[in-house]
């Protein structure tokens, strides 16, 4: 008798679960969204993005002027590389550069972003630009370097360091674009 009671109890539970599922399935299946046949008619639209076009500072009639420069990326190093590359090329339309004979040896930034809740926050600071070359680094040459670099607002000032072959490097100074214009 006990076996029979157990079987009856189990079969009641099974029938109850089956009834519950039978009631839920139509509700879920009838959620109001009709299936459709999606088909691809054409390829998704794509855009070819050219490399960023930024500006560098050259001289025109002895005055500092912004000139467009095609660069590989929008980094300060890429802009400064383009600036010094322009000094090795003949320029037209009255444009010139005071950086002839100088080369960019590298840059160092003292940006050391702090981390807060796994998010890096930018900290403004000094960019050090290391140049090599003989002769005097004139005020217009410094202005070209500093104003080109400070297009990145993260740098409050630019420190220019001269590297020499047979003697120690010297610091030309720390500059702000507005002071050199």
* pLDDT at position 149 over 70: yes
The answer to whether the CB of 56 falls within 8 A of the CB of 141 is no
DSSP characters over 28-51:
HHTSS---------SPPP--PPPP
The answer to whether the CB of 113 falls within 8 A of the CB of 120 is yes
The answer to whether the CB of 121 falls within 8 A of the CB of 113 is yes
Residue 76 CB neighbours (<10 A): 21
In total, how many domains does the chain have?
1
For residue range 128-143, list pLDDT tens digits in order: 999 999 888 999 999 9
Please indicate, yes or no, if residue 91 is contained in any of the structural domains: yes
Range of the domain at 123: 55-179
Residue 20 CB neighbours (<10 A): 10
Please indicate, yes or no, if residue 114 is contained in any of the structural domains: yes
Please indicate, yes or no, if residue 29 is contained in any of the structural domains: no
pTM (2 decimals)?
A: 0.66
Please indicate, yes or no, if residue 141 is contained in any of the structural domains: yes
Please indicate, yes or no, if residue 93 is contained in any of the structural domains: yes
What is the overall mean pLDDT for the chain?
80
For residue range 18-70, list pLDDT tens digits in order: 555 555 555 545 566 777 777 777 777 776 655 555 899 999 988 999 999 87
Please indicate, yes or no, if residue 49 is contained in any of the structural domains: no
Strands (E), 39-94: 53-60, 63-70
């Amino acid at each position: 008798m006990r076996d029979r009671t157990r079987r009856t109890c189990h079969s009641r539970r099974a029938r109850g679960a089956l009834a519950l599922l039978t009631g839920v399935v139509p509700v879920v299946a009838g959620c109001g969204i009709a299936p459709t046949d999606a088909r691809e008619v054409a390829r998704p639209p794509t855009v070819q993005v050219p490399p960023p076009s930024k500006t560098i500072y050259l001289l025109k009639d002895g005055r500092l002027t912004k000139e467009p420069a095609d660069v590989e990326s929008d980094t300060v190093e890429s802009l400064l590389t383009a600036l010094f590359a322009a000094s090795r090329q003949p320029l037209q339309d009255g444009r010139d550069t005071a950086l002839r004979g100088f080369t960019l040896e590298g840059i160092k930034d003292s940006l050391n972003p702090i981390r807060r809740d796994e998010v890096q926050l930018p900290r403004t600071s000094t960019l050090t630009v290391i140049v090599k070359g003989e002769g005097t680094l004139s005020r217009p040459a410094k202005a070209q370097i500093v104003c080109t670099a400070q297009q990145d607002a993260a740098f409050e000032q630019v420190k220019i360091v001269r590297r020499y072959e047979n003697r120690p490097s010297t610091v030309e100074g720390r500059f702000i674009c507005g002071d050199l214009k």
